Chain A
Amino acid sequence: MARRLVQLLTALIYNINIKGFFAGGIYKGRLKSVCVPGLNCYSCPGAVGSCPVGALQSSVGAVRNGISFYVIGFLILTGSIFGRFICGWACPFGFLQELLHKIPSPKLRKKRAFGVLKYIKYVVLAVFVLLLPAYFFIRDGVTVPAFCKYICPAGTLEAGVPLVLLNESLYQSIGRLFSWKLLVLAAAIVLSVFIYRPFCRFVCPLGAVYALFNRVSVFGIKSEEDKCTLCGACARACKSDIDPSVNPNSGECIRCGDCVRVCPTGAIRLGAMYFNKPGDSPKRRDAR
C-alpha cells in the first residue's frame, strides 16, 4: 500500500543519520534547524531534523518573541495543508503503533471512554508543551521541555534507549526519571496491541495541533452526499471510531484511507478538497 511505503520512507528519511547509532552520538549539522512534520525526537542518533514539539518547548522564553514563530508558523502551515495526514502518513511513532496493532489479539474498539479520552491530548498540549515550560522559564529562567521530559515515549524509544546503551557514562546516570519514561513507553507499546494508535488518539500534542486543522486542511476526506447510501461500511472499517459518512474531517481522522477502500459507491475519497468540478464522475481512485 502506498501509505505503508510512505510511512516507512518518512521514518527512514527522518532518521537517515545511521552512523549516529554506531558512534553513540547525534547528528550535529545544519539540517537540524529544520523541523520534520511528525513526532521524531531530535536526540535520536539517527535524526537529521528537529521535532516540532521539542523545538517549540525549548523556544519558550528563549527567543525574542517569547516563543518560536518559526515553529508555530511551520505547524500552522503544515496543519492547514495536510491536517492529520501527517499523522497517518508521516509519523514514525504512529507507524510503530499500527504495526504493533497488527499483532493478533482481542481489539478494544468504540468504547465510550475513548470519546472522553481523546480530549486528553489537548490538555497535554496546553499544559506540558506550553504552560509548564512557560512557568519554569518565568520562575527559574530556564525552559523545561515538560512533554519531552515526563511523557514522550517516542523520545525514550528513539533516543533514550539507544544512547543509554551506547554510552557508558549515560548508562551510569540513569535514575527514577528514566524508569518512569520506560514505563510510559511500555504502556504505549502494550496498549497499541489492543487499541488502535492509543498514543496518537489520546496523548500526542502534535496530533492535537493537527487535529485542529482537520476541518479546514487543503487535503482531506471528500464525501459526496448523493452517492452515500448510509450503508455504514465506512464506520465499521474506521479504526479510529469515526463515522465518515457523518463526520468526514473529524479531528480524530488520520486519513488512513480504510473507509475509502470499503465504500461500495465511491462516495468517500481522499484528496484535495477544492478541486471538484461539477459533474465530476468520481471513478474510484486507487487509494492504496
Chain B
Amino acid sequence: MMRSRRVFFTIILMCAGALMLFAGIVSGEPSSVMRKAVYICLECIGIG
C-alpha cells in the first residue's frame, strides 16, 4: 500500500476509534460493561 494511503487509513481509523470510545463513555456504557463483569458469567465458565 502506498505510504500516504496507509497514513490516511491509520488516521481515519484512530479518529473513528477514539470518537466511538468517547461516544460510548458519554452514553454510560462503561458502567453497563462493569455491571455484567462483576458477576461470574456462568455461561462463560461452562455452567448453565
Q: Are A and B a genuine interacting pair, yes or no? A: yes
Q: Tell me the A residues contacting B by CB distance below 8 Å.
A: 25-30, 32-35, 41-43, 50, 54-55, 58-59, 62-65, 68-81, 144-145, 148-149, 152, 155-156, 159-160, 163-164, 170, 173-175, 177-178, 180-182, 213, 215-218, 273-274
Task: Show 25 A/B contacts (Cβ-Cβ < 8 Å), sorted by A.
Answer: A33-B34, A42-B37, A43-B41, A58-B36, A62-B32, A65-B27, A68-B24, A69-B24, A70-B23, A71-B29, A73-B18, A76-B16, A79-B17, A80-B10, A81-B14, A149-B43, A159-B40, A173-B42, A175-B47, A178-B45, A178-B47, A182-B46, A213-B13, A218-B10, A273-B6
Interface residues on B, range: 35 or more
Looking at A80, A155, A182, the one whose CB has the most chain B CB atoms below 10 A away is A80
Contacting pair A76 B20 (CB below 8 A): yes
Q: Tell me the B residues contacting A by CB distance below 8 Å.
A: 1, 3, 6-7, 9-10, 13-14, 16-25, 27, 29-34, 36-38, 40-48
Having A54-B36, A177-B47, one finds 18 other A-B pairs with CB under 8 Å, namely A29-B38, A33-B33, A54-B44, A59-B32, A63-B32, A65-B27, A69-B23, A73-B22, A73-B23, A80-B10, A155-B45, A163-B40, A170-B45, A170-B47, A177-B46, A178-B46, A181-B46, A274-B7
Q: How far is the CB of B28 from chain A (nearest CB, A)?
A: 8
